[in-house]
A and B are shown apart, each in its own frame.
Chain A
């Protein structure tokens, strides 16, 4: 299962929104998409799902060409599920149960399989079954978002595209959701395309990162390569360094030593920085 773009461009009302984007989305990878507001992240995601037609270039799925439609028709992209930026954009039914069952019915699932699938996805996301008979639009902002994610996850897409999925979630729910999505993605070897402004989450959960600036793909690289060795790219894209990486840089400057953590994850950075700090006799500091 590979999705591949070659030189894809999108032009809307005479304006280039995306320009010559080439990339390969491999099976079983968590790929984060970052960039400033307006850099083209959501448009890129919509091209991947076929919601936005592309004007130039080529799009293939497992080597099969998908039509780039110049007349504004949508492309059916096999096995791709899209969670919109605002949950209200994809919630239509009057109960949570119906909302979740809808996605499966569309896929032609047998009616006797519905209950089981609904329960299983609720469990996966830690949602209580008491929600099933409630109106999804009357839930709090955070719960609404989880329902929107569940309604996409239930169809078990090969490629799951999440546009700012943690906006509006409280800190613990945010961490729990990311961990659950990661477990699902790894266990089933699915591909996740994760659009996020939370640079710390990107450093924590990704395998690869794609950076967009002004409608172009500036770079697509391994997460550790980006945050530990090529962080200049972030500057170039007007993005901040994750706080743990800032700490690492600070410590390198203060101690005059070059530090090489096992990964760009916070845990690995703190593990490396702590002894350097303590070696300065600072463990009683302050």
Chain B
């Protein structure tokens, strides 16, 4: 369980970035976090794994508290963060070493490392690039490697900060499939995204606006109740279609299924 209790954060004194955030993420949830540019999503992600510490309030992961230096190691093991910009994350000179690095840090026994590296690179379809230099990959490939490095560590909570923004549509879908399959295996997923259609398949959505949580609920409740434009968001196509055709059917991620069903009933 990940608990935010009245968390405040600022980088510079007098310029609050996050204000009075309180929420709980339960084990096994798939939560999307959305919000405009600069609303504080990446800051929130870094608070989740102790990379930043709250100025006020506290962030707890089970019994561990990000304010306790001796808890930080345990927190980093349990909460894996994939950065928005993969270049921020790379340290080594090959894709293979990039994934190994994190595992060695976790003191994973040597004989398990090879398997976990291969498995993670396979999951993101980068096994053919094991010997490539991370800095020479395309934008989308970098994002895949960054994700592999974190999932190899098998964190209980996986936090991905816009990890699909550089991918082509197929690549994006395949990464989403990876996230959903990890979720089915019991991993807690926190997915930060600007792609509104991606949130339709998550159980819960948190909407951040100017450092505050202004919505916490299901995707369909979000589209029914919140003026998205106020928070620099837009409706996904499925919802625009619902409105254009005047559909009252419940919203589902696959609009084709919805209209096919209605059409055949008439």
Contact = CB atoms under 8 A, between A and B. Distances in A.
A102 interface: no
A270 B38 CA distance: 33
Contacts of A266: 237, 240
Interface string B28-51: 000000011111001000000000
Contacts of B172: 197
Interface string A27-43: 00000000011100010
Contacts of A173: 36-37, 232
Nearest to A141: B84
B38 A172 contact: no
B207 to A, nearest CB: 11
Contacts of B39: 170
Interface in A216-245: 238-240, 243-244
A164 B194 CA distance: 14
A38 B138 contact: yes
Nearest to B88: A88
A174 B194 contact: yes
B234 interface: yes
A173 to B, nearest CB: 6
Contacts of A139: 38
B266 A281 contact: yes
Contacts of A141: 37, 42, 84-85, 162
Contacts of B250: 286
B266 A86 contact: no
Interface in A159-182: 164, 167-175
A286 B247 contact: yes
B184 to A, nearest CB: 25
Nearest to B195: A171
A254 B229 CA distance: 34
**Which of A238, A243, A254 has the most CB atoms of chain B within a 10 A radius of its CB?**
A243
Contacts of A164: 139, 166
Given A141-B84, A175-B234, A197 B167 contact: yes
B35 A282 contact: no
B167 A140 contact: no
Contacts, number: 126
A90 interface: no
B169 A250 contact: no
A192 B240 CA distance: 28
A140 B192 CA distance: 14
A78 to B, nearest CB: 28
A243 B238 CA distance: 9
Interface stretch (B55-63, B110-118, B217-225, B256-264): B256-264
Given A85-B139, A139-B38, A282-B266, A172 B233 contact: yes
Interface in A249-286: 250, 254, 266, 270, 273-274, 277-278, 280-286
Q: How large is the interface on A (under 10, 10 to 19, 20 to 34, 35 or more residues)?
A: 35 or more
A239 B140 CA distance: 16
| Most chain A C-beta atoms within 10 Å of own C-beta, residue among B39, B84, B140, B249 | B140
A157 interface: no
B42 A197 contact: no
Nearest to B259: A250
A68 to B, nearest CB: 23
B234 A285 contact: no
Contacts of B68: none
B179 to A, nearest CB: 18
B139 A142 contact: no
Interface string B174-209: 000000000000000000001010000000000000
A210 to B, nearest CB: 15
Given A88-B87, A243-B237, A270-B244, A172 B229 contact: yes
A199 interface: yes
A85 B259 contact: no
A141 B38 CA distance: 8
Given A170-B232, A280-B263, A240 B169 contact: yes
9 contacts: A88-B85, A141-B42, A142-B38, A238-B170, A273-B244, A281-B266, A282-B245, A285-B246, A285-B248
Given A239-B168, A240-B170, A278-B245, 10 more contacts: A86-B85, A141-B84, A142-B36, A164-B166, A170-B194, A172-B232, A270-B240, A270-B244, A284-B248, A286-B247
Interface of A: 36-38, 42, 85-86, 88, 138-143, 164, 167-175, 197, 199-200, 238-240, 243-244, 246-247, 250, 254, 266, 270, 273-274, 277-278, 280-286
> What 6 A-B pairs come out closest when comparing CB atoms?
A142-B37, A286-B249, A171-B234, A140-B38, A167-B165, A172-B232
